[in-house]
Amino acid sequence: MRPSPKPQSRTLTVLLAAVVLVGGANLAAYAANGRPLLIGQSNTGTKATTLENTRKGPALVLTSKGKGPSLKVSGQGTVTNLSADRVDGYDARDLMTTAYRYGIPSSGPYDGEIAVTFPGLPEGQYLMAYSIITSTNGSGTQCYARQSDGATTAQAMSWSANAGGYSSNNATALVDTRGDAGPLTLYCYGVFSFYSGAGDAESTVAFTPVDSITQESVGLPARARARTTSGGVTR
């Protein structure tokens, strides 16, 4: 049989265990006060933690496994000087809006229908707006846009307003030139000439990209009851 440990040995063992426990407690408190950081543990501090790299390169590098995020924050405030290379996978250049503006030079006279095309316009959804100035021979002009499929309803239709031998056509419309609809063409017809004067006025067509279009219908009021007049009294 092994002899029982002496009372002094048991006392020493208890003292060593107490030292370990106190040391561990002090280490946790040491990390909690914002000094050493415990990897894989929760760390707290009474002040902000500053990490400075006195040489070249980043002060902090965070890596994660797979597609997991390398950083997670709880606050919703703006982080000063924080920049991101991509937003939802898009480069900043992809988020820029680029409008396309076409100038129609002076030309004519025309008698009939004239087609104006827009080379270089990418397929997409656009807010189309045009301002067409024409000189007329006493007759106005009419303009409208149509896609190349030939079956699409005319869009952005306008009738000219005449004044002093000139007329103006203005209209806007949301258009979609993707897929089978094909490119858009602006048609104007009548007896006219396109007018464009540098520093004066210019016939232009502009296309501003639109990310998405939601189609809705307006609500029409109920038909008003017919009113009759009898003896000067309207009923």
pLDDT at 111 over 50: yes
Average pLDDT value over all residues in the chain: 78
Average pLDDT over residues 8-35: 46
Q: What percent of the chain has pLDDT over 90?
A: 23
**Among the ranges given (50-59, 127-136, 143-152), the one the predictor scored with the smallest mean pLDDT:** 143-152
Q: Is the pTM of this model over 0.75?
A: no
Report the C-alpha gap between 81 and 78 in whole angstroms.
Answer: 9
Q: Which residue ranges make up each domain of the chain?
A: 100-209
- CA distances to 132, 136, 144, 148, 196 from 190, rounded to whole Å, are 13, 9, 12, 21, 18
Q: List, in sequence order, every beta strand (DSSP E) within the chain.
A: 86-87, 90-91, 100-104, 107-116, 125-147, 155-159, 161-163, 166-176, 184-194, 203-209, 229-230, 233-234
pLDDT, tens only, 24-64: 444 444 445 546 788 888 888 888 888 888 988 888 888 88
Average pLDDT over residues 86-111: 84
Domain 100-209 has CATH 2.60.120.40: yes
Average pLDDT over residues 155-173: 87
